[in-house]
Amino acid sequence: MRCAKCGGDRSSVIDSRGEVSAIRRRRECQDCGFRFTTYERVELALPLIIKKDGRREPFDRAKLHAGILRACEKRPVSVEAVDETVASIERRVHELCVKEMPSRQLGDFLMEELKTLDHIAYVRFASVYREFSDISQFVDTLQTLTNQQAASKDKTEEADKTANG
């Protein structure tokens, strides 16, 4: 592994930890003493994403991660939660075992994950993803989210009453 500072190729592993979808390794360069972190992931055969205009591009984990971070900007969402969301979506895509998939399907997966991660991030992403042309589409999305939250709250309260009572 090359050092991020001096480019030397002699480094030693100081610490290794297994995380959700990767092994995190702390390394130290034997030439300059600089410490840095690397991540080791299993490389999966992921599909090509078919864009709206018909172009095909490889599934890009970094692009997905950046999109989620943008939606969660200035929200109380941890980097670990974002990483877990990316890993979950990547796992779902891999489980499909397809060579190509429409970007719309990938966006739907992301919408589902954002809905449970952070409601504001969900609405932010939805406004761009669904290309709202007027305020009524935005209000409809908010109303749907509100109705789903209320239904979920009612089910939780019913389950609590049944368990306690």
Cβ 54 vs Cβ 34: under 8 Å: no
Residue 127 has a pLDDT of: 80
The span from the CA of 38 to the CA of 16, in Å, is: 10
Q: What angle do CA 60, 22, 16 make, to 5 degrees?
A: 145
One digit per residue, the tens of pLDDT, for the chain of length 165 reads 889 899 999 999 999 888 777 899 999 999 999 999 998 887 767 899 999 999 999 999 999 999 999 999 999 999 999 999 999 999 999 899 899 999 999 999 999 999 899 988 988 888 887 777 677 777 777 788 777 777 777 676 676 666 666
Give the ranges where 15-165 is alpha helix by DSSP (H): 61-71, 79-95, 103-117, 119-129, 135-164
Residue 83 has a pLDDT of: 93
